[in-house]
Chain A
């Protein structure tokens, strides 16, 4: 089976700083892939390269066997890559419902002229998108908060809303940037179960950046370890746990701080 996402020898430099060096990652369809590494290792840069916020200095990124390196972020999103952000990026002054609707909008087909004349087709499409969005919010426990502003939600719910919003794109690949940030052990455990459910229910491949080792080791089929922009290990959770370079660079001695 060919990989869903292939990061092929990608390098990203900012001036003299090499944020990512000769990176290779293969994400298989249906897998959950973890990206771990100390702070500043280049994990979020990698996400920004995949989603088109940055263009790779060298190398290629292929999604479903098609090169997406250098495409605009909007185009990449529409090809089926959804994401969340490390610092939550919701539309704070919009309702919870409208945050999801906007991700459905790419599936509504009407022209600006139809919109300005408010033709019946638009009304039907909009009503349907509202119903779909409410349906999507239900399993996230957000349906009853649909008419609140996104900024009024508690932190944990904001993270869930970001995931729901990304799923409205009907993505093949979902990138989660530290989904468990700021959560305690109990919350992280329930998030682990929740992500497992999301993956099975929406048939989506997950790539996640995470510092909570318990979550990563439990959830991921494969893990890539980055350190100072270099890929220092790649393998199953068992292999990663046993890898001396990883223990040295990341886990060794500082495990308690990082976990």
Chain B
């Protein structure tokens, strides 16, 4: 069984096949009742969570910083895209992809500004700055009547479908994978390991930090845009609890691992909904956060920490990294 799994993990033809099959099923589910409404919501949530988890992993895992502001980027993407589709150019479903990208771009611009702060601060201090950023963003939405204030933005069209979610998951994975296995990815990893040594080797630290923050917040914004067009949006949703959920996914699945991020997002989301259906809805953050404590004690790098599924490696890197 183990050798079967190992051979599956090593067979690189499987991933493209899975992507094609997955996308076909997602498209088909629009016309055939393959999934119940509830299952669809869970699948879309898993997709959104994968995007959030992979993008936060870039900063918290690969780069080794500690940002707790990811829900803030998510809300930036959610609000800007929702304002775009409800107020500026309403009732044009064709423009949904533009709205999603618009949400991502705005989040990326704010991510760029946060990156500038990360030159001066690291570790605990950066965590506090991102926490402050999160509170600023949430309070800002609550105080802007144009976007509904504390009541949130209502009447957002439900444009987020399974195929769109699947599409954005693939784009996110592909872009972040390509980035990680380039010289910029090596620079981002070097920042985590030893900034002084990286400097001495001519690594462009600032460029790498900006890039990691911008890409991470862009996809955080994309995830927010997808979320906004699935539910109504309420500023209270994008608080520290939401950020904590994403952190749990990242550290559960494993830092510096794309495969781990998918695993973390899937396990977390399934557990999250399962606990609710078991009548433990109010207890789920207790249970899931306890899981995080156990994980930090016994497997601090997560299930797949620092290990990668060979599916995600470019061919040239295959024999050059340890495999699970």
Q: Which A residues form the contact surface with B (CB < 8 A)? A: 51-53, 72-74, 77-78, 82-83, 85, 89-95, 97-98, 101-103, 105-106, 108, 110, 112, 115-118, 122-123, 126-127, 130, 146-147, 149, 165-166, 168-169
Contact = CB atoms under 8 A, between A and B. Distances in A.
A105 B197 contact: no
Given A105-B203, A147-B319, 16 more contacts: A52-B199, A77-B199, A78-B202, A91-B189, A94-B190, A94-B193, A103-B201, A106-B201, A115-B179, A115-B183, A117-B178, A118-B174, A127-B316, A165-B201, A169-B201, A169-B202
Nearest to B175: A116
B178 A115 contact: yes
A45 to B, nearest CB: 14
Interface string B194-211: 101111111111000001
Nearest to A89: B197
A73 B183 contact: no
A103 B193 contact: no
Given A74-B203, A126-B316, A102 B182 contact: no
A134 to B, nearest CB: 10
Nearest to A77: B202
Please give me the 3 A-B residue pairs with the lowest Cβ-Cβ distance, nearest first. A115-B182, A105-B183, A73-B199
Interface size for chain B: under 10, 10 to 19, 20 to 34, or 35 or more residues?
A: 20 to 34
A91 B197 contact: yes
A103 B200 CA distance: 9
A51 B200 contact: yes
- Tell me the interface secondary structure of chain B in the complex: helix
B320 A93 contact: no
Interface string B175-194: 10011001111110110011
Contacts, number: 109
B321 interface: yes
Interface of B: 174-175, 178-179, 182-187, 189-190, 193-194, 196-205, 211, 215, 306, 314, 316, 319-322
Contacts of A77: 199-202
21 contacts: A52-B199, A53-B196, A74-B203, A90-B197, A91-B190, A94-B193, A98-B320, A102-B203, A103-B201, A106-B202, A106-B204, A116-B215, A118-B182, A123-B314, A126-B182, A126-B316, A127-B316, A130-B320, A146-B320, A147-B319, A168-B201
Given A74-B204, A116-B178, A105 B186 contact: yes
B196 A91 contact: no
B183 A91 contact: no
Nearest to B185: A115
Nearest to B205: A74
